[in-house]
């Protein structure tokens, strides 16, 4: 997907089109799961009403109440619940706004963690231990090694950045719309 949607952008800034597309792809099953849940709750509620009416009335009265009154009301409630779900899921169809400070800081934190991990690996490969004194030339060499390693797999780096941004967008969306989670 990253290759399909490769666009030019400033380094370090997330591509909102790619982040939005990834978020929509991964959140697509939410509607299906929510519909299943609504349907299960609706069926359980209908079952409860049927048992209640059969317990409180005779078979003929409970059957008539269910057929001519309750089932139509419950069907209307099911359709209203599905309509409300559609409203709640509508927000996930728009492109994400990546100017949110929480999104930017979450995305940046993920990149910094990745860089720290890569730098630790380079130091370990060079045999440098924590707390060991290192001269400027050695630091320069380590950074250049880190830079060449990062350039070797730009597709993987782009995919990791898109994944981190998608997760950051998900966290922002969860905080902005807590009633939808």
Q: Is the pLDDT of residue 177 over 70?
A: no
Residues 160, 180: Cα–Cα separation, whole Å: 27
Counted residue by residue, the chain has a size of: 181
- Quote the pLDDT of residue 129: 76
pTM: 0.50
For residues 47-60, average pLDDT: 95
Q: Which pLDDT belongs to residue 147?
A: 63
Supply 38's token pair: 């609504």
Cα of 7 vs its chain's centroid, Å: 22
pLDDT band at 151 (very low <50, low <70, confident <90, very high): low
Question: Of 34, 38, 7, 36, whose CA–CA distance to 21 is shortest?
Answer: 7
- Which of 15-29, 48-62, 110-124, 151-165 shows the lowest mean pLDDT across its residues? 151-165
- Is residue 64 very low, low, confident or very high in pLDDT (cuts 50, 70, 90)? very high
Using one digit for the tens of pLDDT, what is the confidence trace for 68-123? Answer: 999 999 999 999 999 999 988 887 666 655 566 666 676 677 777 777 777 777 77
């Amino acid at each position: 997907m990253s290759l399909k949607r490769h666009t030019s952008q400033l380094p370090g800034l997330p591509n909102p089109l790619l982040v939005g597309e990834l978020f929509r792809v991964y959140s697509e099953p939410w509607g299906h799961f929510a519909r299943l849940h609504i349907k299960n709750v609706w069926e359980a509620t209908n079952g409860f009403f049927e048992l209640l009416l059969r317990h409180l009335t005779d078979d003929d009265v409970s059957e008539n109440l269910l057929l001519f009154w309750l089932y139509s009301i419950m069907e209307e409630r099911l359709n209203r619940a599905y309509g409300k779900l559609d409203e709640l899921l509508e927000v996930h169809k728009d492109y994400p706004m990546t100017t949110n400070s929480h999104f930017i800081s979450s995305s940046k934190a993920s990149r910094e963690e990745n860089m720290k991990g890569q730098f630790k690996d380079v130091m370990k490969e060079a045999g440098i231990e924590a707390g060991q004194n290192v001269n400027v030339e050695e630091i320069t060499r380590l950074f250049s090694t880190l830079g060449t390693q990062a350039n070797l797999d730009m597709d993987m780096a782009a995919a990791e950045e898109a994944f981190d941004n998608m997760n950051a967008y998900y966290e922002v969306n969860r905080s902005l719309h807590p009633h939808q989670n």
